[in-house]
Copies of this chain bind each other. A is one copy, B any other.
Amino acid sequence: MLAPVGLSADPAALVAAAGAGDRRALARLITIVEDDRPGALEALSLADRSSRGASRMGITGAPGAGKSTITDGLISAIRRTGTDVAVLAVDPTSPFSGGAVLGDRVRMQDHVSDGGVFIRSMASRGHLGGLSAAAPKALTMLEAAGFPEIIVETVGVGQDEVEIAEAADTTVVVLNPGWGDGIQAAKAGILEIGDVFVVNKADRPGVRDTVADLQGMLAMDEQTRWTPPVLTTVAHAGEGIDELWGEVQRHRAYLIEEGLLQARRRARRRGELETALVAAFRRSARRVLAADDGDGVAALVESGEMDPWTAAELILSRERASSG
C-alpha cells in the first residue's frame, strides 16, 4: 500500500508520528531512508536520537530451511506476551531466489490486521553494499517507532546476509536434518555466527544425528561461557517455537549479566559508521566518474590504454588535490 499523497514529507513530523504509533509514517520513513531520498539524513539523525533500544533477533539459514515459518511462530509467541514486534525480512534479489518473495512471505500476512505487528520486506538490490547500507537504517526507524522486539530475517547465502545477522543481539541459525556433517559445519563457519541453533523439520529422518553433530562441534568451542543450544522444531506445526523463544530470552539475559550487550551494540554502531562512510565515499566515486568525461581517464581505461586500478589511484589523487 502506498503512503497517501497527503502524508507530510517533513522528516521531523514523520519521525514524531512514527514514534506515536503511526504505521504509515513509519513505512514512509523506511522508504525515504532506503532510497536515500531528500530528508533521509535528518530523519535518521532524529530517529537515532529518539530510539528506545529494541532487542534485535537475527534469523538466518539456507533457502527453504523454514525461516519464515519460524519467524511467523515467533511473532505469535511474542504477541501472546502483549509485546509489539517488527520484522525486517531481507530477500535477496538473486536471479535464483524469487520464490521467497512470492511464497513464504504470504503466510506472515496473517498478522497484517494486528496493529502490534509491523512487517517490512527489503530487497537486497543494486550494487556493492546496497543491502548492508540500507538495513541498519530501516532498523533504526523500527527502533525509533518504539518496537521493543525486532526480528531481522535473512537468507544465509551471502556475505551481506551474514553482516546483517551480525547486526542482531542474538542470532538464530536454522538448519534441517541431514545438513552436512560436523566438520562441514565447522568449515562453513556457521558455528561462529549462531547463538542459538534450530534443526527445523524435525519430523524428518536424520534429526538426531544432525543435533548430535552440532552439539559435538559446539562443545569444542570453549572461548565463551555461552554454549549455543541446539533445538528442534517442526515450525509448520508450531512445535518447539515457545522453547526457541525461551532460549533467545535466556541468551539475552546472559548478554546482560556478562556485560556483553553494550559491547555488542557499540561494535555494531562502529560497523554502521564504517558502512556509512564507505557509502559516502562511494557517492564521491560516482560523482568523480560522472565528471570525468572531459578528463578522459575513464575513456583511456575503456580503450585499454590504462588499467582500471592505476586509473582509480590517479582519479583518487586528483580528487584529493582538487577538494582542498
Residues on A facing B (Cβ under 8 Å): 41, 44-45, 47-49, 60-63, 92-99, 101-102, 124-132, 136-137, 140, 156-163, 173, 180, 184-185, 187-190, 193, 266, 269-270, 272-282, 284-286, 288-289, 297-298, 301-304, 307-313, 315-316, 320-324
Query: Is the CB–CB distance between A273 and B92 below 8 Å?
Result: no
Q: How far is the CA of A324 from the CA of B278 in the complex (A)?
A: 20
Give Cα distance in the complex from A190 to B273, angstroms.
34
- Pick 6 A–B contacts, CB within 8 A, sort by A: A45-B309, A94-B156, A94-B157, A127-B163, A280-B285, A280-B315
Q: Is the interface of A mostly helix, strand, loop or mixed?
A: helix
A93 CA to B93 CA, complexed, in Å = 18
**Judging by beta carbons under 8 Å apart, are A96 and B157 in contact?**
yes
Expressed in whole angstroms, the Cα–Cα distance for A173 and B96 within the complex equals 10
Contact B184 A310 (CB under 8 A): no
Number of copies: 2
CB distance from A124 to the nearest CB of B (A): 7
Residues of chain B contacted by A102 (CB below 8 angstroms): 184, 187
B280–A157 CB distance below 8 A: no
B136 touches A128 (CB 8 A): no
Which of chain B's residues have a CB closer than 8 A to the CB of A61? 96
Interface centre among A102, A159, A180, A316 (most CB of B within 10 A): A159
- In the bound complex, how far is the Cα of B139 from the Cα of A263, in angstroms? 41
Q: In the complex the two chains form, is B274's CB within 8 Å of A96's CB? A: no
Contacts of A173 in B (CB 8 A): 95
When the two chains form the complex, which single residue of B96, B310, B316 contacts A190, counting CB atoms closer than 8 Å? B96
When the two chains form the complex, which single residue of B45, B277, B324 contacts A323, counting CB atoms closer than 8 Å?
A: B324
Closest to A61 in B: B96
CA distance A69 to B129 in the complex (A): 31
Indicate the member of A274, A303, A316 with the most B CB atoms within 10 Å: A274
By a CB distance below 8 angstroms, the chain B residues around A126 are 159
Q: Given A273-B301, A320-B323, verify A128-B95 contact (CB < 8 Å).
A: no
- Distance of A94 Cα from B324 Cα, bound (Å): 42
Across the interface, name the chain B residue whose C-beta is closest to A292. B273
Given contacts A44-B307, A98-B185, A277-B288, 20 further A-B contacts (CB under 8 A): A41-B309, A45-B309, A48-B304, A93-B189, A99-B184, A102-B187, A124-B158, A124-B159, A128-B275, A137-B309, A266-B302, A269-B301, A273-B289, A273-B297, A274-B286, A277-B312, A277-B316, A279-B312, A281-B285, A284-B316
A93 cross-chain contacts in B, Cβ below 8 A: 159, 189
Q: Tell me which residues across on chain B come within 8 A of A94, comparing CB atoms.
A: 156-159, 161-162, 188
Cβ contacts under 8 Å, A279 to chain B? 312
